Amino acid sequence: MARRPRIDFAGYHHIVNRGVSGTDIFLTPKDKEMFLAILCKACKLYDIIVHDYCLMDNHYHILVENSKENLSLFMRQINANYAIYFNKKYKRSGHLWQGRFKSWFILQDTYLYQTIRYIEYNPIKAKITSEIGEYPYTLGGTLLSKMEVIPCAKNSLMGEQYSIKELAEFLNKPLSEDEAKALEEEKKKKFNKSDDSVKQEWNKKVEEYFSTDMNKVERNIAMREAFLDGHSQTVIAKHLGVTSALVSYNIKNLKFDT
């Protein structure tokens, strides 16, 4: 199977990497601290902001924002330098990482903030802790515990847009089943660059979701499908000749009355 193309566009990226064969890549707190130091050094070199991170024992998540098309260079620096550190410290050789890192480009704010909540819930999902803010190796945990924030995350969305109380309220809301499903669907989308802007590649045009002989049930389902595929509520509403508020309501409530 062909590899999924790497997206280096400037913008937001959710990145995940794992240890080879699922092995641990962090054996001590010092290892995690070293990884964060390497991360910040690379951020300074490539002008990148960290908006969230979560360091688990056998993998990590980072949410970053780049202003140049340099994501692959940035990640190569991090993974190579940490592998050198780890192999030297533990007197091992060979590959440390499962393979090339996975990354997902994030275009819409809705999915950006859902990704933050997803990342912060990793320690709870893994049953390492039961409370948001207790795990020290996420950015949210660092902020809520009022610990020193790493330099490359000083301008993070969580740090700049939320008070401690607001952040606790934001992060303490786990993703709903619908939000988790939408986030997984978002990861499958493809993007391209046109006229210096990044746009989604559509598998279907908005008009292809609808037909003139649809009843209200079928139309409401089609609205939701088009929305989950990435078409905005405004675009759907314009095509149907209805208000965006009606589209929003029907998507949220999935009206099945005829």
pLDDT tens digits for range 219-253: 888 888 888 776 778 889 989 999 988 888 888 77
Give the C-alpha separation, 41 to 38, whole Å. Answer: 5
Tell me the CATH number of domain 11-178, given options 3.30.70.1290, 3.40.50.740, 3.40.50.410, 3.30.1540.10: 3.30.70.1290
Specify the pLDDT at position 85. Answer: 98
Domain positions in the chain are 11-178, 202-253
Q: List residues bridging with 55 in a β-sheet.
A: 60
Q: Residue 258 — pLDDT band, cuts 50, 70, 90? A: very low
Give the C-alpha separation, 76 to 119, whole Å. Answer: 22
Percent of the chain, pLDDT > 90? 62
Residue with tokens 């099945």: 256
Structure tokens at 23: 């092995």
Chain CA centroid to CA 205, Å: 25
pLDDT tens digits for range 191-216: 666 556 555 555 677 888 898 888 88
